[in-house]
Amino acid sequence: MTGDLRTYDDLVLALRAAGCVFAEDEAGLLLEAAGSPAELEQGVRRRIAGEPLEVILGWTEFAGLRVEIDPGVFVPRQRTVFLVRRALRLARPGSVVVDLCCGSGALGAAMAAGMPGLHLYASDIESRAVTCARRNLAGLGEVFEGDLFDALPSTLRGHIDLLLVNAPYVPTLEIAAMPPEARDYEPRITLDGGDDGLDVHRRVAAQASQWLAPGGTLLIETSREQAHIAAALFEGAGLIPRTAHSKKRRATVVQGTKPSERVDFIADDDLRKRSATPH
């Protein structure tokens, strides 16, 4: 590419030739973000090389919010808004909410915007993600660094009302077929879900019941094809599974709700009464 890229039409043609599906939208955003013709050309060159637009801009739109994105941090997908909206249906002021595998903290920020008064926590194993999330969640919640539940304060055990998880679920052998902006620029740990894509889902399911409050719900994103396996994992871990799909967003969320201890107590009490009744 040679010459200055100063017009919208020039940008659209260059981006379209590079395979950018939303060339018109991206051209407008790059023009708006550039402070000079040199910055504009640099941004276009980076985009044509495959770098995520969100990293070039330094932000992405998610659930109506502008969320900051740093290099090397997973870019939240628009389909994940479906998970947030399902979680907001269950949230109440004062609910304890955890955004596990939080990345930029986009899910937590969207929850806080949609339901003020939450007690919000987030964690990620990637230090760059934690740094980014702490900016996006400043004044909204606490962000911890570590591997899944190991990162969380022990005081949360048994007290989480909503556990949101956007864990990696791409099967290892399918990563090579992903778009270059994901495959080459996002940490592999944020994409690679193991042989069938559900390695992290298994680990989350195995511990979730210990961390959820009675009646608390785990919500995790999967593909439609993986959903029945994830639901079985939740059921095997003692959670009540439910699967939801969004045709509009091409999104699938599997929920697992921890049975209420009160229900269990009543059931046990009824059983004792029946056992004591003469036949």
Closest CA relative to residue 98, chosen from 157, 56, 51: 157
pTM (2 d.p.): 0.87
Residue 265 has pLDDT above 70, yes or no: no
- Mention every residue, 6+ apart, whose C-beta is less than 8 A from residue 58: 33, 68, 69, 70
Q: Residue 41 has which token pair?
A: 């050309």
pLDDT at position 36 is 86
Q: Residue 35 has which token pair?
A: 């402070």
Relative orientation angle of helices 106-114 and 81-90, to the nearest 10 degrees = 40
Domain locations along the chain: 8-68, 78-264
pLDDT at position 6 is 59
- 186 three-class SS: coil
CATH class of 78-264: alpha beta
Closest CA relative to residue 165, chosen from 233, 239, 100: 100
Q: pLDDT category, 171, cuts 50, 70, 90? A: very high
Answer for the pair 137, 109: CB distance below 8 angstroms, yes or no. Answer: yes
Residue 194 has pLDDT above 70, yes or no: yes
DSSP H or E stretch at residue 238 = none
CA distance 213 to 259: 9
Torsion of CA 96, 99, 105, 110, to 10 degrees: -60
pLDDT at position 63 is 97
Q: Could you tell me what percent of the chain has a pLDDT over 70?
A: 91
pLDDT at position 20 is 87
